[in-house]
Structure 1
Amino acid sequence: MSKTHLTEQKFSDFALHPKVVEALDSKGFQYCTPIQALALPFTLSGRDVAGQAQTGTGKTMAFLTSTFHHLLSHPAAEGRQVNQPRALILAPTRELAVQIHADAEPLTASTGLKLGLAYGGDGYDKQLKVLEQGVDILVATTGRLIDYAKQNHVNLGAIQVMVLDEADRMFDLGFIKDIRWLFRRMPPATQRLSMLFSATLSYRVRELAFEHMNSAEYVEVEPEQKTGHRIQEELFYPSNEEKMRLLQTLLEEEWPDRAIVFANTKHRCEDIWGHLAADGHRVGLLTGDVAQKKRLRILDDFTKGDVDILVATDVAARGLHIPAVTHVFNYDLPDDCEDYVHRIGRTGRAGASGHSISLACEEYALNLPSIEEYIGHSIPVSKYSSEALLTDLPPPKRLQRSRTGNGQRRGGNNANRRGAPRNNNRKRSG
C-alpha cells in the first residue's frame, strides 16, 4: 500500500501474538490503514467492533489479524468436536468468500491454524472433505453453511470469533434471516469476539449489531469524498447508434492494462462481450448466471492478467478486491447512485491513479442528475467526433459458455481508426 493510505501506527506497536507478527512481516505489512488502527485496539482487548469502511481500506486484514490473534491467545473450548470451527467469517457472495480465504491463507503458514471454505454452487464434496478433517477458521456464505449445519457437518457451538463482512450487502441480498438463524446456533455474544464491517452503518445494520453483538464499539472511516480523488472521471454523451463504436474507440485510445466494463443487464454485457471479443480483445464475462467454476476462473485470469477486460454486471461491483484496475467504463449509467461509486471504486486504489469513463446514452442519461447530486460534483464532460470513431468493425461473436477469453491481445494500431475521438475542449456539465 502507498504511504498515503497508511497511518503512523505500526502493527508491531500492538501486543499481537508473535506468530501473527511473523505472518504480517512476511507479507510486508508494517503500518496500519485507518480502519486497522481504529479497530485493533478494541478487538485485541476482546471488545466487539462494528466498523464502517469501504472495500479496499484494509478491513479484511483488520478482522483477519484480530481473528488469528484471538484464537492463538485463547484455548479452544473444552470438549470441542472435529465438526466445530473456532471462528466463522461470513461473506455475502461466493467471490468475496473465496477472496477472504485467499487473503487468510498466508496467515495459516505461520500460525498453523487450519482454514476452511464453504460456498454454494460448486464443490460440495470437495469443501466437505476439508471440513471433515477439522478447521479452526471457516469462511462461508450463508446458504452452503446452513446446508452443512442442518446435516451436522458443521456445528457452531464452539465459535470463539464471528465476523460478518459486507453487512449492508447481506440486507440487500435478503440474507438476514439466514444470518439470524446462524447466530442462534452460536454461543452467546458475551462468550465470543464479534466483528461486523459494512460500507454504511445504517439503522438496520446498527440494529443487527445491537441484537447479536456485545456492546459493540463503532469505528468509522469516512472517505474524504464519495469518489476517490485519484480517480479521473470523464463523461461522454453518445447516441445509441454510436455508443458501441465509442467504447471500442476509447479502448483503442486508452489501451488499458486492466479494465472493467459495467453494464446494467446480463444481455447487454453479453452483447458487449461479443463485440470486444470479435475485435480481438482478451475479454471475460462476469454475470450472475455464469457457472460458478467459470466465474472463479475468469476472476483468476483477470487478476493474473491473462484477461485484460472484464465485462460485468453489478454482481462484481461490491466486495471484490482486484488489484491494479486502471480503467472502469460505465457503458450504462447505473440506476442506483451507490452503484456508480462502487463501480468506479474498482480503480484508483492503494495510492494508484485510475480513470473512470461513463457513457450517458439516450436510455440512461436520466440517471445522471441523481448520480451527480449523490457524489457532490458534476462529472467532467468530453466531446467526441463521430468521424474519429472506428469503422469496419467485425460483427460480434456469439457467446459460447465454455469460453472466457480470446487469444492474444491484438496490437494497438487499427487501420480503420481515424484518430482520437476526444474534442480537447472540455467543459463541466451543469
Structure 2
Amino acid sequence: MTALNLTFAHLGVRDEIVKALTEQGIEHAFAIQELTLPLALAGDDLIGQARTGMGKTYAFGVPLLQRITSDTDRPLSGIPRALVVVPTRELCLQVYGDLVAAAKYLSAEDRKLSVVSIYGGRAYEPQIEALQAGADVVVGTPGRLLDLAQQGHLQLGGISVLVLDEADEMLDLGFLPDIERILRQIPEQRQSMLFSATMPDPIITLARSFMNQPTHIRAEAPHSSAVHSTTEQFVYRAHALDKVELVSRILQAKGRGATMIFTRTKRTAQKVSDELAERGFKVGAVHGDLGQAAREKALKSFRTGEIDVLVATDVAARGIDIDDVTHVINYQIPEDEQAYVHRIGRTGRAGKDGVAITLVDWDELARWEMIDKALGLNCPHPAETYSSSPHLYEELEIPTDATGTVGPARAQKPKRSSEKTSEQSTERPARTRSRRRTRAGKPVSAHPDAAAPEPPSTDGQDEGAPARRRRRRRPRKPAAASAS
C-alpha cells in the first residue's frame, strides 16, 4: 500500500487533537498512521508493523484518545478506559509524553483528560495517588502494572482500548507471562491493537489468543529492507585494543550530531563512557548498573544536547525514541539480526539521513556472518581497519588531522556506591588496628592476639592479664613459709 501523506484532519481526527499536534509541528501523517487510523477509528482490532521511528505512537495514540472521548454511552469517570503496555521505563515516559501532548485540549466531564504513567524503579506512592486522583489513560510496564492491579490500586475492569507497543521487545525481555496475566483481568469486549517492528512466531500466537480478527498492516512492502533506506551502513573489522581510538576519530566525522554507541555488557558501556569522557567528549551512559534517576538524567541530557554521545546496552536502550540521532556505532556487535535492526533503527528516522557503523572484532566474525546473511548486507568479511587507516577517514569524512582527544577530560561522575563500599572495607581494618594499639591512652601488648577483636573494654579490663599473673604467684608464698 502506498501512503498519500495526508493530514490528520483529512483522516477524520478530532479538531482538538489536530490542534494539539499542529502545535507540536505535526500535520501530515506517516505511512503507518495513514494506513492504521481509518481502521482504528472504526474500532477494529489491528496489528501494526513498521520499523522503529516510523510514527507508531500516534498510530495508536490518536485513535485511542478519540475513541474514549467520543463514547457518549460511557463518559469518562477517572477509572482507566485505555491501557498501553510498553516494555521499558524509557518508552513508557516517551509514550506518556506524546499522549499528554496530543490530549492537551481534550476534556472529560469538567476536567482535563488524565494520562498516568506507571513503571518500576520509582516509589509506589506517587503512582497510587495519581490513579486515585483519576486516570483515563494508563501507560505502563508489565511488572508494575501487574503489581498495582493485584494490590487493587489499578482497576482494569473498565478498559475498552488495549495497546501492546513494541511487542517483540516485550518478548525478548521475558514479559509475555505478565502480559497474559494482565489480559485475563481486562474485559473481552474491547478494541485491541498490537504494534511491533518484527513479528516472531510467539507474538503471532499471542495476537491470535487475545485479538478478534485483527487486520495486519505493514507500512512498507514485505520484501523491503529491514533497516531504513536513509541509513548508510559501514562495517569494519577492528581490534579490541584499538576500538576506543577508532571511535574517537569517528566522533569527529563531518556532520556528526547526536550519537548512540551500543555495547553488549554493562561493564563495557561504563568503560567506554569513562574513556571517552577522559578524551574530552560530552558523553553519558545508560545501563543496568545505574539507578533509574541516573538513567533518566542521562537521557534528558542527551535529548537537550547537554551531551551528544550516549553509550548504552541493548536492554537499557530499548524504547529510547530520539529523532535527531545522526550516527549509531556498534562497539560490540549484537546477538542477532533483530537486535541489529533495533540498534541502527535509532538513526535515519522520519526521513532523515543516518550513519550506522559496526566494529567487528576477530572473535565476533562468525556471529557477524550470520547477521550479514540474515539481513542480506553483502559484507560477510569486513575490511581490517585501525584508527590510522586512510579508508576510515575517507569513507566517514573524518578530518585527516583528527586525534584521539578533543579537549581536556570532562568531570567524571562519582563512583557507584558498590565501589565506595569496597574501598571502605579495605581501609577499615587498618584504622581499627591503629585504634587498638593506643586504647585508653596506653600501648597494647604486641602479643599476636592483640589485634584480635575484643568486646568494648575499660581500663580495668585492659589490665586484666597482669592481675591474673599476680593471682598465680600468691599461693606460692605460703607454701615456702611452711617449708621453712
Query: What is the TM-score of this pair, normalised by structure 2?
Result: 0.76
In 1, the alpha carbon distance for the partners of 2:255 and 2:39 equals 45
Quick one: distance in 2 between partners of 1:119 and 1:207?
26
Mapping for residues 379-418 of structure 1, pairs under 5 Å: 379=379, 381=383, 383-384=385-386, 386=388, 390=403, 400-401=414-415
Give the Cα separation in 2 of the matches to 1:241 and 1:203: 40
Structure 2 SS opposite 1:152: coil
Structure 1 range deviating more: 239-248 or 383-392: 383-392
Q: How many percent identity over aligned positions? A: 37
| Aligned position for 2:302 | 302
- Is residue 65 of structure 2 the alignment partner of residue 68 of structure 1? yes
SS in 2 for 1:135: coil
The separation in 2 between residues aligned to 1:109 and 1:88, in whole angstroms, is 18
Q: Which residue of 1 aligns with 2:250?
A: 250
Matches of 1:152 and 1:236 in 2, distance apart? 53
2:11 maps to 14
Which runs of structure 2 are paired with 1:90-239 in the superposition (5 Å)?
90-112=85-107, 113-188=113-188, 191-222=189-220, 224-239=224-239
Supply the distance in 2 between the matched residues of 1:342 and 1:202 (Cα, whole angstroms).
14
Residue 56 of structure 1 and its aligned partner are, at CA, apart by 0.8
Please state which structure has a larger fraction of its residues in helix.
Answer: 2
**Is 1:274–1:399's contact at 8 Å kept on the other side of the alignment?**
no
Which range moves more in the overlay, 124-133 or 321-330? Answer: 124-133
Structure 1 residue 253 displacement after superposition: 4.0
In structure 1, distance between residues paired with 2:284 and 2:258: 11
CA distances 1:180-205 after superposition (whole Å, capped 9, x unpaired): 111111111xx211111111233322
Tell me how large the CA RMSD over aligned residues is. Answer: 2.6
Distance 1:310 1:375, change over 3 A: same
Decide whether aligned partners of structure 1 residues 253 and 170 sit closer, same or farther in structure 2, where only a CA change above 3 A counts: closer
1-side partners of 2:336 and 2:413: how far apart? 28
CA distance in 2, matches of 1:350, 1:259: 16
Report what 2:42 is aligned to: 45
Structure 2 partner of 1:319: 319
Supply the distance in 1 between the matched residues of 2:383 and 2:288 (Cα, whole angstroms): 32
Distance 1:370 1:133, change over 3 A: same
Q: Report how many aligned residue pairs link the two structures.
A: 395
Please say if residues 286 and 295 of structure 1, whose CA atoms lie closer than 8 Å, have aligned partners that are also in contact. yes
2:105 is paired with a residue of what secondary structure?
Answer: helix
Distance, in Å, in 1 between the alignment partners of 2:15 and 2:57 is 20
SS in 1 for 2:329: strand
- Residue 10 of structure 1 and its aligned partner are, at CA, apart by 2.7
Give the corresponding residue for 1:407. Answer: none
Q: How far 1:322 sits from its partner (Å)? A: 0.9
2:275 is aligned with 1:275: yes
Q: Is the 8 A contact 2:53 2:323 kept in 1?
A: no
The equivalent of 2:394 in structure 1 is none
Paired with 1:255 and 1:352, the residues of 2 have a C-alpha distance of 13
| Cα deviation, residue 318, structure 1 | 3.5
* C-alpha displacement of 1:402: 6.8
Partner of 2:260: 260
**Separation in 2 of the partners of 1:69 and 1:23?**
13
CA contact (8 A) 1:86 1:159 kept: yes
CA separation of 1:254/1:358 partners in 2, compared to 1, >3 Å: closer, same or farther? Answer: farther
Aligned to 1:421: none
**SS at 2:135 equivalent:** coil
Which amino acid in 2 is paired with 1:299? L
Deviations 1:148-181 (A, max 9, x none): 1111111101111111111122221111111111
1:242-301 per-position Cα deviation (integer Å, ceiling 9, x unaligned): 222112222234573211111111111111111101111111111122101111111111
**After the TM superposition, which residues 413-424 of structure 1 pair with which residues of structure 2 at under 5 Å, given as runs?**
none
In the other structure, the counterpart of 1:54 is: 51
The letter of the residue matching 1:377 is L
- Deviation at residue 221 of structure 1 after TM alignment: 2.4
Q: What residue number does 1:415 align with?
A: none
Q: 1:139 to 1:385 in 2, by over 3 A?
A: closer
CA 259–8 in structure 1, closer or farther in 2 if over 3 Å, else same: closer
Question: How far apart are the structure 2 equivalents of 1:38 and 1:353?
Answer: 24
**SS class of match (2:169):** helix
Determine the C-alpha separation between the residues in 1 that align with 2:116 and 2:200. Answer: 31
Structure 1 runs not aligned, ≥5 long = 404-430
CA contact (8 A) 1:142 1:179 kept: yes
- Change in 2 beyond 3 A, CA 1:332/1:134: same
Q: Deviations over 1:34-64 (max 9, x none)?
A: 1111111111111111111222111100101
Gaps of 5+ in 2: 108-112, 390-399, 418-484
What does 1:81-96 align with in structure 2 at a 5 Å threshold? 82=78, 84-96=79-91
Per mean C-alpha deviation after superposition, the further-off stretch among 242-251 and 293-302 is 242-251
The CA distance in 1 between the partners of 2:387 and 2:321, in whole Å, is 35
- Taking a change above 3 Å as real, the CA distance of residues 274 and 8 of structure 1, as seen in their structure-2 partners, is closer
Please list the CA deviations of residues 329-387 of structure 1 after superposition, one character each: whole Å capped at 9, or x if unmatched.
Answer: 11112221221221111111112111112212223233221121122123474845648
Deviations along 1:95-127, whole A, 9 cap, x unmatched?
Answer: 111110011111221113111110001132222
8 Å CA contact 1:114–1:134 kept in 2: the answer is yes
**TM-superposition CA deviations, 1:309-343 (whole Å, max 9, x none):** 00111124433211211111111122212212211
